[in-house]
Structure 1
Amino acid sequence: MNYSIKPEALSNKTILITGSGDGIGKQLALDCAKQGATVILLGRTVAKLEAVYDQIISNNGPEPAIVPLDLQGATGKHYLDMANTIEDQFGALDGLVLNAGILGTLRPFAQIPEDEWQEVMQINLHSQFLMLKALLPVLNKAQSASVVFTSSGVGKKGRAYWGCYSVSKFASEGMMQILADEYANSTIRFNSINPGPTQSKLRTRAYPAEDSNSIKAPADIMTPYLYLLADESIGVNGQYIEAQK
Structure 2
Amino acid sequence: MSAAIPAGYTPAAGLLQGRVVLITGAGAGLGRATALAAARFGATVILLGRTVKKLEAVFDEIEAAGGPQPAIYPMNLAGTTWADIFELAETVEREFGRLDGLVHCAAHFKGFTAMTEEAPKDWLEGLQVNLTAAYSLTRQCLPLLQQARDASIVFVTDAVGREPKALRGSYGVAKYALEGLVKGWSQELGATPGLRINSYDPGAMRTELRARGFVAEEVQKLPGPDAAVAGLLYLLGPDSAGINGQALSRS
CA 1:210–1:105 in structure 2 vs 1: closer, same or farther (change >3 Å)? closer
Give CA deviations for 1:103-126 in whole Å, capped at 9, x if unaligned. Answer: 233112222221111010011111
Give the match for residue 222 of structure 1: 229
The answer for the alignment partner of 2:172 in structure 1 is: 166
Number of matched residues?
244
Cα shift readout 1:119-163 (whole Å, capped 9, x = no counterpart): 100111111121112100111111111000011111111111112
Q: TM-score, normalised by structure 2?
A: 0.94
Give the partner amino acid of 2:137.
Answer: M
Q: Does the 8 Å CA contact 2:110/2:212 hold for their aligned counterparts?
A: no
RMSD: 1.1
SS in 1 for 2:129: helix
The one-letter code of the counterpart of 2:211 is: T
Note if contact 2:155-2:199 (Cα within 8 Å) is conserved in structure 1: yes
State whether residues 91 and 141 of structure 1, in contact with CA within 8 Å, keep that contact through their aligned partners in structure 2: no
Partner of 1:107: 113
State percent identity of aligned pairs.
Answer: 39
Q: Is the 8 A contact 1:17 1:42 kept in 2?
A: yes
Higher mean displacement: 73-82 or 43-52? 73-82
**SS class of match (1:199):** coil
Aligned to 1:156: 162
Q: Secondary structure at the match of 2:244?
A: coil
Which deviates further from its counterpart, 112-121 or 38-47? 112-121
Is the counterpart of residue 118 in structure 1 residue 124 in structure 2?
yes
Please tell me the residue identity of whatever aligns with 2:95. Q
Q: Measure the CA separation in 1 of the matches of 2:63 and 2:173.
A: 38
Shift in Å at residue 197 of structure 1? 0.7
- Asked if 1:210 is matched to 2:217, the reply is yes
Partner of 1:183: 189
Partners of 1:219 and 1:16 in 2: CA distance: 18
Structure 1 residues not aligned, in runs of 5+ = none
Report the alpha carbon displacement of residue 209 of structure 1 after superposing the two structures with TM.
3.2
Q: Does 1:86 align with 2:130?
A: no
2:135 aligned with 1:129, yes or no?
A: yes
| Structure-1 separation of matches of 2:119 and 2:91 | 37
Residues in 2 aligned to 1:141 and 1:92: alpha-carbon distance in whole angstroms: 8
Whole-Å separation in 2 of the counterparts to 1:138 and 1:47: 28
Q: Which runs of 4+ in 1 moved over 4 A?
A: none
In the TM superposition, residue 192 of structure 1 has moved relative to its aligned partner by 0.8
TM-score (norm 1): 0.96
